[in-house]
């Protein structure tokens, strides 16, 4: 156990626990977009910044990736922190002007869009937080999507933006996406995601389409369950 100070409050926590988690357990609100309990943190959205004083040095850190230490002093609401957070928010809004979530968050934090930033029109709602990439890799286990290109051209998607052969069409990436950038369209018998159309499996008992065929094949391969056992929907099981 280590003891330290957050916003003037003495707290204790397991050494090595991430600052964001400890702060939230102690009722301190820190906004985040990319932090998810199931996938490893990447510090991509930069909204969780706080100020940490360790010894004589005070600096801005991302709280989601900062392990707590004995004797540190953390401030989550100083002017410096708010300035950084506001800048991050304005940059995100300039990148994704259509995102309702960003608009709502900015309104709550009292941040206006900065008119001098050039507004991007081709980035959709993607903030490049990599949650979808990590989910595809760690939770689903297929690694069908990734980040490609560099700098301002960086985008997320399947390799070369072509139809991915490894994608199983499960939609976990769309589920986890914080800003609803990833679109998944389902019509009877077809599901479209990342530009590729997937054939859906109809339930053997009730005939309703319930999952992409490729996803069932992948589950069968991964778990060793025969495909015949997976051909019934949850309601008919």
Q: Using CB under 8 A as the criterion, which residues of the chain lie in contact with other proteins when the complex forms?
A: 24-25, 27-29, 36-38, 135, 139-140, 170-172, 174-176, 180, 184, 186, 206, 208-211, 215, 219, 233-235
Min separation Cβ 27 and other proteins, Å: 6
* Minimum CB distance to other proteins smaller for 94 or for 174: 174
Which residues are bridge partners to 49 per DSSP? 62
* Minimum CB distance to other proteins smaller for 122 or for 185: 185
* Minimum CB distance to other proteins smaller for 9 or for 154: 9
CA distances from 53 to 3, 61, 84 (A): 14, 10, 17
Is residue 45 within 8 A of residue 34, CB to CB? The reply is: yes
Min separation Cβ 217 and other proteins, Å: 13
Min separation Cβ 209 and other proteins, Å: 8
Rg of the chain taking only CA atoms, in angstroms: 22
* Minimum CB distance to other proteins smaller for 135 or for 164: 135
CB atoms within 10 A of CB 214: 21
Distance CA 18, CA 41 (A): 10
Helix (H) or strand (E) holding 3: strand 2-6
Min separation Cβ 126 and other proteins, Å: 16
Which residues are bridge partners to 197 per DSSP? 192
């Amino acid at each position: 156990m280590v003891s330290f100070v957050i916003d003037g409050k003495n707290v204790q926590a397991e050494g090595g626990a991430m600052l964001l988690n400890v702060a939230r357990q102690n009722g301190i609100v820190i906004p985040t977009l990319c932090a998810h309990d199931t996938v490893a943190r990447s510090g991509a959205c930069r909204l969780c910044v706080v100020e940490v004083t360790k010894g004589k040095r005070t600096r801005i850190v991302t709280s989601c990736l900062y392990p707590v230490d004995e004797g540190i002093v953390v401030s989550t609401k100083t002017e410096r922190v708010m300035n950084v957070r506001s800048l991050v928010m304005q940059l995100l809004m300039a990148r994704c002007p259509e995102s309702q979530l960003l608009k709502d968050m900015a309104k709550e934090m009292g941040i206006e869009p900065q008119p001098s930033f050039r507004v991007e029109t081709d980035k959709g709602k993607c903030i490049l937080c990599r949650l979808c990439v990590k989910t595809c890799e760690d939770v689903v286990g297929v690694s069908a999507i990734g980040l490609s290109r560099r700098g301002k051209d960086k985008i997320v998607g399947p390799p070369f933006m072509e139809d991915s052969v490894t994608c199983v069409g499960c939609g976990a990436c769309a589920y986890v996406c914080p800003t609803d950038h990833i679109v998944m369209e389902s019509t009877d018998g077809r599901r479209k995601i990342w530009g590729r159309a997937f054939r859906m499996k109809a339930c053997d008992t009730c005939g309703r389409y319930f999952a992409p065929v490729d996803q069932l094949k992948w589950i069968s391969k991964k778990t060793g369950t025969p495909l015949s056992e997976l051909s019934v929907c949850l309601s008919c099981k």
